[in-house]
Amino acid sequence: MSSTPFVAQWGIIGCGWISSEFVTDICRQPSTRDVNDISHAVAAAGSRSLFKAEEFLNKYCPDGAAAQQQGLVDFKPKGYGSYKGVVEDPNVNIVYIGTMNVCHYDDAKLALDAGKHVLLEKPATLNAAEWRSLVSIAREKNVFLMEAVWTRFNPVLRSVQKAIHQDDLIGDIRCLFSDLSMDSFGKRKDTDRLLSAELAGGPLLDLGPYPLVWTMMMLYRHPKNGRTPPAKIGSTMMLHHTGVDLATNFALTFPKINAIANCTANLLSPTQQSQHTRIVGTRGEILVQGITSRPQSYIIRRLADPSQENGKYLEDELVDLSFEEGGLVFEADHVARCLKDSLVESPDMPWAETELTMSVFDKIRKEGGYKFLPGLERVKLD
């Protein structure tokens, strides 16, 4: 017996690139990915100017998103020349925030204070204190809040996680190596968002969440680790003359499972897409391919004799899970289901894990000497 899908009615705050990717993805019909319990509508989009908001809607969802195309809702997307208009729109039940990192706290607070559910792009905030403040508002208002770490919901990451946590394909995990970097140094101006101190730039907050998410999903969430936080966090940072980081390496230890994660994020070199993340176990290794944030396939490389030191490998096994979607829709589907079930916190991206990741970055910044410009942090660390 069929039932009407639940529709997430999105308000979009910020009309830049990541928002365009998000909207393009939720315009795809759910049936193309075997989804029939939920769908998506774009109710509103807001920018600093009405012209830009309307231009955004006309370009990326002139007929609305999937639910509007299906006839599940009867309203059309509406543009606003302010974010306030979006959060006050009666057709909006959840707000997607795709603004600059330095704006995340203020924009999320605006939506939460208006009683709207929120999906907030990574990094959720500039520090852990800001995140704790947003969580307290979400609790008070009894509304959903989640950091948008889309890679957590990627089919390839989910498959790798199952291979390691449930199927035990490569034995006990010992090391994880993950990188997301860009060869941007000398090719972008100091005013660019990646290099600007006014925009809290640098690869740590912009690119670092992706190597860290592989660490969180494979090591922190390993059943044998029991979600025990890393025992030690060490880092090396090189600062740009603007004051932001130019290159950051960081390592996290998980002694409960005898594993260590080695992560890199820099603006000096491109990431090797044939092996951006390598997970080494006692019986073999997994090499993840594609882009660190949007993996498409992975290779299982088993040891012929795991008892031998530096032993030989059997023939590589390729697991190709390439998909047409941009990748953000898998996260959007998850959020829609959370709303459908009246949840205020995602079990797959809980508040405590965002706080932990923000605390990791706080420690790395402090160790590296990266200080935000005065006034950028809306809530200061203790």
pLDDT score, position 3: 86
| Of 277, 219, 245, the residue nearest 364 (C-alpha) | 245
CA gyration radius for the chain?
Answer: 21
Query: How buried is residue 345: exposed, middle or buried, by Cβ count under 10 Å (0-12/13-18/19+)?
Result: middle
CA distance 54 to 77: 9
Domain ranges of the chain: 6-150+330-351, 155-323
Q: CA dihedral in degrees (147, 238, 255, 206; nearest 10)?
A: 10
Q: Give the C-alpha distances (Å, rounded to integers) separating 149 from 146, 153, 214, 327, 354.
A: 9, 8, 11, 11, 9
Which single residue is written with the structure tokens 């951006």?
Answer: 276
Q: What is the rounded CA–CA span in Å between residue 55 and residue 20?
A: 11
Q: What share of the chain is helix, strand, coil (3-state, %, to 5)?
A: 35, 25, 40
Tens digits of pLDDT across the chain (382 residues): 458 999 999 999 999 999 999 999 999 999 999 999 999 999 999 999 999 999 999 999 999 999 999 999 999 999 999 999 999 999 999 999 999 999 999 999 999 999 999 999 999 999 999 999 999 999 999 999 999 999 999 999 999 999 999 999 999 999 999 999 999 999 999 999 999 999 999 999 999 999 999 999 999 999 999 999 999 999 999 999 999 999 999 999 999 999 999 999 999 999 999 999 999 999 999 999 999 999 999 999 999 999 999 999 999 999 999 999 999 999 999 999 999 999 999 999 999 999 999 999 999 999 999 999 999 999 998 7
The SS3 call for residue 123 is: coil
Helix (H) or strand (E) holding 117: strand 117-121
CA–CA gap between residue 373 and residue 243 (Å, rounded): 9
Q: Which CATH number is 155-323 given? A: 3.30.360.10
Rounded CA separation 258/280 (Å): 12
Report how far residue 378's alpha carbon sits from residue 244's, in angstroms, rounded to the nearest whole number: 18
Contact assessment for residue 63 and residue 97, using Cβ atoms and an 8 Å cutoff = no
Torsion sign (Cα): 80, 124, 111, 376: negative
Please return the burial class of 136, using the count of CB atoms within 10 Å of its CB with bins 0-12, 13-18 and 19+.
exposed
Angle at 99 between CA 96 and CA 104, to 5 degrees: 85
In degrees and rounded to multiples of 5, residue 12 shows phi and psi of -105, 120
- At the top level of CATH, which class does the domain 6-150+330-351 belong to? alpha beta
Tokens, residue 26: 């939720």
Q: Are 271 and 180 in contact (CB under 8 A)?
A: yes
pLDDT, residue 80, reads 98
H or E stretch covering 247: strand 245-254
Task: Write the CA distances from 368 to 219, 238, 245, 371, integer angstroms.
Answer: 24, 7, 8, 9
Cα 157–Cα 162–Cα 163 angle in degrees, nearest 5: 95
Global pTM reads 0.97
